[in-house]
Amino acid sequence: MPVGEELSKVIHCKFKKMRKFLDEEPPMEDRKQMKKQWDTEMAQLVERFTKYEGLHKPMTYIKNGLGCWYTCLLYPGMEPHK
């Protein structure tokens, strides 16, 4: 599988997991914990895919947003977006 497709698959999978998590209406403490975990996973994703020259643009976008991804977890009712 081309590395760009792999990155896309990983990101879509993360989004689906987040939607499922939010659909369960978890308490705020669980939301904070998951945001921390998923922020760490996004940083690991950057480390994993940054080395591929063809992914420079999307990886820069993801890297610049580190810490801001999954903000909707902290604001009940806020819709997640891609």
19-72: pLDDT as tens digits = 999 999 999 999 999 999 999 999 999 999 999 999 999 999 999 999 999 999
| pLDDT value at residue 81 | 76
- Phi-psi group of 78: left, alpha or beta (phi > 0 → left; psi -120 to 50 → alpha; rest → beta): beta
Q: What number is the average pLDDT over the span 14-19?
A: 95
Pairwise CA distance, residues 68 & 43, whole Å: 11
Residues 6+ apart with CB under 8 A from 10: 45
Q: Who contacts 75 (Cβ-Cβ below 8 Å, separation ≥6)?
A: none
pLDDT, position 82: 56
Confidence of residue 1 (pLDDT cuts 50, 70, 90): confident
- Give the SS3 label for residue 14: helix
